[in-house]
Structure 1
């Protein structure tokens, strides 16, 4: 639909140009060809009538073009994107909460682990199932923060379970996580910022870099270490990574940003 409207705008622009050319040709014909057979008064009267007619056409085309432009902008503005705010139970004020849930994923020691974390809803539904452990499956565990070597508030949430929130932000077309940034690049809107986390580098399971909110929440009753899916802070190591601008041993931040 958006593409069709844009094509209409191009066609209207070309039509306006063609209309101007036709107008000039007809006016030239009126003043040149007709002046030889009609008197000056009749030619002038025809010119006034013709100008009035073309003015009406041009006004109608302008209004139509403005209406189409408005519809294109409105259609673009209706777009929305969804993202997960890791480490929080709520969404930012500019976004709608789709659901609040529990962060989960594969166990850190499993070689066949799935790499991405999941935001599991608080009200799961079930299809067909068989109860009990049979060993021929993959598994989803809860997630914990592993932050005892950090500082400040984030140090105090060590071993606590990790919440998450799925958020809907309107009038946006794309959302992106930027590592090593706590602000967005020009033209982008900040959804939240935090610290880059992943699994421990010695663990069997592969993981993905995840942006955990800078002031993370915890789940009630989840302060005991049960492991499962675990999140460690990520540090910069110099070598192939250029230092400066990066600094050896510093924890990396992150920002989740959206764009219209």
Structure 2
């Protein structure tokens, strides 16, 4: 078995997954776990029809791929001898050369939500009629790099006004040029960071816009918009009874983490 095909003995389950799992029912969560087990064992992958489960799988696979690459690199370095144990300078140099742990999906997911729904909704802008999914991913990547929620501080007017008065292509090009000019290079160049971020956004946008909107509305109500009551959720949102139970359960666990821990013991 080659080093690249060697299966590492473990991988980390990041705490950022917990909130996402709270949004799934038991059947969906079980499907995710079974898929991931097959993925890490390099076995035949089951078919996943459920879109929410498929999206969480993409998140986890990204982190698994990163940790496995790191593992194989360490194995390769070990064959070459590596640095002597206790050599702190060598360990420090190695730490700076390794890419940071990829926690991109959590950020890019909310950038997409900002681009597609909240800002577009605020502007009464039918974004899917003017922008392709690739363009939405490009905009979200630039928002992520610039750490902004809208472009009012960058361009005169709104995204809607810019695109209608000029074009979506010109908006994407100018936004990318601005992001490149503001970018401060570190471990990666702008081209590398933009490509990696846009690729993550592209994966997320494999879901339909309606499915993404529904999923993020559920997450928002569970984790952020806790001031909206159960009655208001039932009146104003298109959720099933099971989804409403998931939202309320996630809220309780967010507000009472110690109680949740005690219940699990």
Q: TM-score range by the shorter chain?
A: under 0.3
Question: Which structure shows the higher strand fraction?
Answer: 1
With structure 2 as the length reference, what TM-score do the two structures score? 0.23
Which is higher, the Rg of structure 1 or of structure 2? 1
- TM-score, length of structure 1 as denominator length: 0.23
